[in-house]
Every structure is written in C-alpha cells, then in structure tokens.
Copies of this chain bind each other. A is one copy, B any other.
Amino acid sequence: MTPVKPKRVPRAIREQQMLDASVEVFARRGYHPAGVEEIAEIAGISKPMVYLYFGSKEELFVACIRREANRLMEMITQLVDPQDPPKEQLWSALRGFFSFVSDHSGAWIVLYRQARTQGGPSAREVDEMRRRTVELIAAMLSQAAGMRKPGEQAVTAAHALVGSCESLADWMLDTPGTSAETTAKRLMHFAWPGLEELMEATRAKRAKR
C-alpha cells in the first residue's frame, strides 16, 4: 500500500486556484494595493509558491487577464452559431457577454477597469482581446452582407458596438437590480436597427454592380 498524500494537488489545478484568488483580490483591492500575501492565503498556499509559479505580481496579473479574456472569448464563440441569421448571432453574443460580466464581475473589473489602466503587458493583453472581438464582429457583419472582407463601415460599426458593450457592462454593474438579459435586450434595440441597415445598404450596393 502506498502512503496517502492528502495535500498533493496537480500543478494545473493549483495554478487555477491561484488565479481564482488573484482575480478576487485584484478586483477588490485594485492592482497596486493588492498583496501577494493575501492572494496566497486565499489560495491556501505559501507566498514563495506564488512567486515560483508566476514570477512576479505583474506576471500574475497578466496571467489573470489572459485567462479571463480567453474564457470570455471562448464562451461567446461557443454560444454563437455561424449558421444562425446575423440577428440571432448578435443576440447570443450580447446575452453571453452580459451574463459573463454579471456572473464574473471580478473578472470584468480586472479586465476592463484595471488592466487597461496599468499600461504595459496587461494593457496589451486586453487590447489584443478587444482587437480580436472587433475583428470577429466586423467579419460577421460583412459575411452577412455578402462580402468576403470586412469593409471600413463594418469595422467602424464593430468598434462602436464594442464601445457600447463596455459602457453598458459598467452601467449594469453600477445599477443594482439590472439583469444581464435586460441589458442585452436594450443594447439589441439600440444597435440592431443600424447594423441591419448597414448590411442591407452593403448588399444593395453589391447587387447594383
């Protein structure tokens, strides 16, 4: 019989526990005041262990951002069916996005309110996620309008949509009693008519050629 080692946790799981604790502490305290000591305590490990795994507080922060950004992107990609009509795709994406923000408000605070303000590698990580999101939306709009490559109009509309998502995510978190579903619905009402007109105009222009 081999002896029982109750405290042996696989590396991958331990890493996730540290990231969970980090997001919680960064979201509550802010990047600068957040202490690695508190993060270690919540994760149930020693402070040197955190440094062993992540190197520095900044690298730990960047790792948090990367995980949360990927999580958000993957979730939305899974929810959106490219076979659906564009309106359904947008609705699935918006509902998914606001649910994520509502369910993981700490992650959103770290991603949006903190990372972008730190500059350096963490801001670059978020900018990259934002860039990919804008590209995805612009591609979806262009495809729906029968174009192979996103036009300038689609890119601008995608930037506008991402900006309104960010603004409403903040508003939702600051407005108690507002559900993700309601927020997504209202943004749908605001954004869909303009996007639909843009796609129709593009289609009509192409048909004329």
Contact = CB atoms under 8 A, between A and B. Distances in A.
A171 B159 contact: yes
A21 B189 CA distance: 44
A11 to B, nearest CB: 34
A192 B192 CA distance: 11
A183 interface: yes
B164 A161 contact: yes
Given A164-B163, A165-B163, A186 B156 contact: yes
A116 interface: yes
The oligomer's copy count stands at 2
Interface in A128-158: 153, 156-157
Interface stretch (A44-52, A65-73, A79-87, A194-202): A194-202
Question: Contact residue range for chain A?
Answer: 20 to 34
A187 interface: yes
A42 interface: no
Contacts of A163: 163-168
Interface in A103-124: 116-119
A63 interface: no
B116 A190 contact: no
Interface of A: 30, 116-119, 153, 156-157, 159-168, 171, 183, 186-187, 189-198
23 contacts: A30-B119, A153-B186, A153-B189, A156-B168, A156-B186, A156-B187, A157-B190, A159-B167, A159-B168, A160-B186, A160-B187, A161-B190, A162-B167, A163-B163, A164-B164, A164-B167, A190-B191, A190-B195, A190-B198, A191-B194, A193-B194, A193-B197, A194-B194
